[in-house]
A and B are shown apart, each in its own frame.
Chain A
Amino acid sequence: MSPKTLYDKIWDAHVAHEADDGTCLLYIDRHLVHEVTSPQAFEGLRMAGRKVRAPEKTIAVPDHNVPTTEGRDDPAQMTEESRIQVAALDTNAREFGVHYYPVSDVRQGIVHIVGPEQGWTLPGMTVVCGDSHTATHGAFGALAHGIGTSEVEHVLATQTLIQKKSLNMKVEITGKLKPGVTAKDITLAVIGETGTAGGTGYVIEYCGEAIRDLSMEGRMTVCNMAIEGGARAGLIAPDETTFNYVKGRPHAPKAGAYEQALEYWKTLYTDEGAHFDKVVTLKGEDIQPVVTWGTSPEDVLPITGVVPHPEDFEGGKVDAARRSIEYMGLTPGQKLTDIEIDTVFIGSCTNGRIEDFRAVAEVVKGKKIKEGMRAMIVPGSGLVRAQAEEEGLADIFREAGFEWRLAGCSMCLAMNPDQLSEGERCAATSNRNFEGRQGYKGRTHLVSPAMAAAAALTGKLTDIRELM
């Protein structure tokens, strides 16, 4: 038998039907659902008189619209439209009988944080959600990707997706990371290298010593942004780190079933000599703390750099860079560490987990954020919030001057009340710096949690290594 990649193995294990032209029905093991991209899908089922084929494999949680302030059960905190969307999910989840974590449940949070936390996401699975950051779950060696609402309806009705296989791409990060460099810096550096379309048509497998050394949470950060590099999905082969994380989670297999699963999970790796259609290699020791200067996640530079000149680029990117620099209110040649920040957002499915918050606490403990700074920390789930409270992190944040919020997507995409105003400039641990992403005419610089914490203290984009 010819050697297979990890992607090949998971793909092959999920083909329910293959047509002569290679179009496949891929079976879906877990379907995550949130309130923004699902109402039209449930309505479609209802109109066609269809049921959810596998409600036991379907998990719903509201996250995009929900306010993150105390007393959010008060409907007045949401706009009428948000309220309708959250209410629609509530109705649909109950009517179709899927697993459901309502706003009032302590387990509620961002769908990509809740899934792994509850043990819904397991190695070797196929996982989809009507959300591009479904790539996050690839950290477990699960084939996970975002889908549109028509496909949400398709999965609800048939538990399959119509798919053609992608190509295989390997991203290897060799060696060790230097102090101050995190999973976020790895994933941004990779996009800086490949561009936002570099992964289009591929499923990426991340590997190498620097990836192996990451915790599960770090691996989720890396895979989360595979989509920003254009890839359908990002994968990391499961290992002891993965198995230890999964074990004992509420929906992970128990006892004998766990042993049986473990035996299978241990076969989930790329065989020696398997073919990759594209290979990118970065040296871990070359990666520096990075920051984005523009309005595309590929606009990445080490924090020690300067704002580029549009003429530094080629083709259509020249005009795009000119537009970005103007939108961001920057000057070519300006040092990145001279850029002043008025807002800090720490959270999102990229960096809203407990380890992210520990990293922030380490930087801000016993210190105060810059006067006039608006800084908020938004946990990825109610359980992350509870743990941070228990570990005393929340007190550190409050004492430093941060707003300590309830769980949700919050200012990552600003569909709830957490938004930037026109011209405000934010150091954000989220995943997209698009125009208007965090609010109309708002300006976003993507960074790691430690770098966001540093910016909150100094009021500027800051090299975390100078505070270490």
Chain B
Amino acid sequence: MEKFEKLQGIAAPMPLVNIDTDMIIPKVFLKSIQRTGFGKNLFDEMRYNRDGTEIADFVLNKPQYREASILVAGDNFGCGSSREHAPWAIADFGIKCVISTSFADIFFNNCFKNGILPIVLPQEQVDLLMKDAEKGANARMTVDLEAQEITSSDGDVIAFEVDAFKKHCLLNGLDDIGLTMEKAASIDAYEAKAGAERPWV
């Protein structure tokens, strides 16, 4: 997995609440057996007309946001299905950080597996960053994972919380499976004990 250390980039505002995974990547694009190539269909139904032409007023189609690497979004971002195609599409587009007041649980976890940092902040701080993002390409935010700080284009510094283990994995680009395999002895011991206690499982 790609490391996430410090990100400086353009933030795109998407104030809509309850942006669901069907919006992020509609099911017609879930039929690939690869992990890559989903970026062009990110937010497909909001981003393109049926004939494939762009919908001009969709945020990521606006010239100032086409290179966005940060998304500031409304409440409950990523609700719905467990499809990891949603973070795959986001990462493939080039967005590495999503900021909201809340995220759906499965989506939140999926982000960390794909080098994306989801940041939860209180409403007033999301509002502040949303306003900053609305300034367009001049609004370049900085997200520093090591320091756990976001710096707005005006120099406001906002601290954020992140789970220590998830932070460690993101900073170092660590593979979860490799880490867990190091604990194989614990899993073996658990299986032996549980197998004796609940042999029917």
Contact = CB atoms under 8 A, between A and B. Distances in A.
Nearest to A40: B35
A79 B181 contact: no
B201 interface: yes
Contacts of B177: 48, 50, 153-154, 157-158
A436 B113 contact: no
A307 interface: no
B186 A131 contact: no
A132 interface: yes
Interface in B30-77: 30-35, 45, 50, 74-76
Interface stretch (B2-10, B134-142, B147-155, B190-198): B190-198
B106 A148 contact: yes
B199 interface: yes
Interface string A420-448: 00100000000010111100100000000
Nearest to A159: B187
B125 interface: no
Interface string A51-93: 0010000000000110000000000000101101100100000
Given A316-B74, A319-B16, A150 B186 contact: no
A29 interface: yes
Given A19-B165, A230-B105, A436-B22, A85 B33 contact: yes
Q: Which secondary structure characterizes the binding site on chain A?
A: loop
A401 B110 CA distance: 43
A253 interface: yes
Given A50-B177, A148-B106, A160-B180, A37 B82 contact: yes
A132 B176 contact: no
A278 interface: no
Contacts of A436: 22-23, 26, 45
Given A25-B183, A39-B33, A435-B45, A146 B82 contact: yes
A230 B76 contact: yes
Interface stretch (A256-264, A349-357, A454-462): A256-264
Contact of A232 (B18, B34, B105): B105
A158 B31 contact: no
A303 to B, nearest CB: 23
Q: Which of A23, A227, A316 has the most CB of B within 10 A?
A: A316
A432 B22 CA distance: 10
A278 to B, nearest CB: 15
Nearest to A258: B200
A164 B108 CA distance: 13
Given A153-B177, A261-B198, A435 B22 contact: yes
A196 B79 contact: yes
Given A85-B31, A158-B187, A230-B76, A437 B22 contact: yes
Contacts of B189: 16
9 contacts: A37-B83, A40-B35, A146-B82, A149-B35, A158-B187, A160-B187, A197-B104, A296-B79, A436-B22
Interface of B: 15-18, 20, 22-23, 26-28, 30-35, 45, 50, 74-76, 79-84, 87, 102-106, 109-110, 113-114, 163-165, 176-177, 179-181, 183-184, 186-187, 189-191, 194, 198-201
